[in-house]
């Protein structure tokens, strides 16, 4: 009897190195570089930071060695570190101001540019340009514009005072605790609202026109069409933008670092900025790692909470 080369008996004798649908080892070879990069530059540093959070160590001093202190770094942050309380409040302020403003402004711009208007493509490019701009360059420009002595916006206040004869003086945007946070918020929104606009624009263009036609036939107003047709269908996009922008607000660093250096009086010092200070200015690697794990915990809990709550307001189409 001649064996059929396609029979199960013949296929079971194939070489281990030959390709089979259930053993695609070639795919693992292609994944290996990315996997090694993840292990070396993500997983191992994360585990190392967890270990460092339990020690006291100045990595610059060659005579210093890691000293195990247990939960002392965490207890200090929660008990006696007033600066940590300030940076948590500052970060919360940025989150509750930047995220809603970016979502609202991005949606309004997307709604406007979703209409058939002359030059819509040009407007889209203009609004998106800050997204691809280097944030350090943008922060330097804003720092110049908001300077109280010679900034462009300050000159407008001085000119208005001279024209009206009233004692109008510009706010000290970068030198006062009252205006420093709003200044950072303005820069962040300018930088990121274009991204929100583009994502919302794609979502709006995916809403079926038939639903708007049916709403018009039922006599729905513009607000009712927006409330009962547009908002439910773009709610998954809103959820996505909300989560990633919330995480971005938690990780705010460059804007405050360049514009205000965390001041004045720590009014713009964020959690990530405080990690940088402890790690690379004060050389307290253990404390910096403990703060980083607090940040991870905050982001994880907020993301988990929103994921659990999304069923109450996010509407997915059938089959998604």
Domain ranges for the chain, please list them. 75-312
Q: Which tens digit of pLDDT belongs to each residue from 81-116?
A: 899 999 999 999 999 999 999 999 999 999 999 988
- The conformational region for residue 29 under phi > 0 = left, psi -120 to 50 = alpha, else beta, is alpha
* Longest CA pairwise span in the chain (Å): 111
Distance of CA 37 to the CA centre of its chain: 23
Residue 194 CB partners (closer than 8 Å, separation 6+): 106, 127, 128, 129, 130, 131
Distance, in Å, from the CA atom of 34 to the CA atom of 291, rounded to the nearest integer, reads 28
Q: Which tens digit of pLDDT belongs to each residue from 140-169?
A: 999 999 888 888 888 888 888 878 878 778
Task: Please say if the pLDDT value at position 8 is more than 80.
Answer: no
Q: What pLDDT is stored for residue 1 in this prediction? A: 46
Q: Hey, what's the torsion of the CAs at 100, 192, 95, 43, to 10 degrees?
A: 130
Q: Which tens digit of pLDDT belongs to each residue from 162-214?
A: 788 787 788 888 888 999 999 999 999 999 999 999 999 999 998 888 998 89
Q: Which tens digit of pLDDT belongs to each residue from 307-317?
A: 898 888 888 87
Mean pLDDT of 18-22: 56
The pTM assigned to this predicted structure is 0.84
Which CATH fold would you assign to the domain 75-312? MetI-like fold (1.10.3720)
What's the chain's Rg over C-alpha atoms?
27
């Amino acid at each position: 009897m001649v064996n059929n080369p396609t029979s199960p008996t013949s296929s079971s004798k194939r070489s281990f190195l030959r390709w089979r649908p259930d053993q695609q080892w070639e795919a693992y070879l292609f994944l290996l570089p990315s996997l090694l990069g993840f292990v070396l530059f993500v997983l191992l540093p994360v585990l190392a930071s967890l270990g460092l959070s339990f020690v006291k160590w100045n990595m610059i001093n060659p005579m210093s060695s890691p000293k195990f202190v247990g939960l002392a770094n965490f207890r200090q942050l929660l008990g006696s570190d007033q600066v940590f309380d300030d940076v948590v409040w500052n970060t919360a302020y940025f989150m509750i101001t930047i995220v809603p403003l970016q979502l609202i402004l991005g949606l309004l711009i997307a709604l406007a540019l979703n209409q058939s208007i002359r030059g819509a493509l040009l407007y889209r490019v203009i609004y998106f340009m800050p997204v691809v701009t280097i944030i350090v360059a943008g922060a330097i420009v804003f720092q110049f514009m908001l300077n109280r002595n010679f900034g462009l916006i300050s000159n407008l206040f001085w000119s208005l005072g001279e024209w009206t004869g009233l004692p109008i003086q510009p706010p000290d945007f970068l030198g006062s605790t009252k205006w420093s946070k709003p200044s950072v918020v303005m820069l962040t929104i300018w930088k990121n609202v274009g991204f929100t606009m583009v994502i919302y624009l794609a979502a709006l263009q995916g809403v079926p026109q038939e639903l708007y036609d049916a709403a018009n036939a039922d006599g729905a107003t513009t607000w009712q069409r927006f409330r009962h047709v547009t908002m439910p269908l773009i709610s998954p996009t809103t959820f996505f933008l909300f989560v990633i922008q919330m995480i971005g607000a938690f990780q705010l660093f460059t804007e405050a670092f360049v514009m205000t250096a965390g001041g004045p009086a720590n009014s713009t010092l964020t959690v990530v900025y405080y990690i940088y200070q402890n790690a690379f200015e004060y050389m307290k690697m253990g404390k910096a790692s403990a703060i980083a794990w607090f940040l991870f915990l905050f982001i994880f809990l907020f993301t988990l909470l929103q994921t659990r709550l999304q069923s109450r307001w996010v509407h997915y189409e059938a089959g998604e």
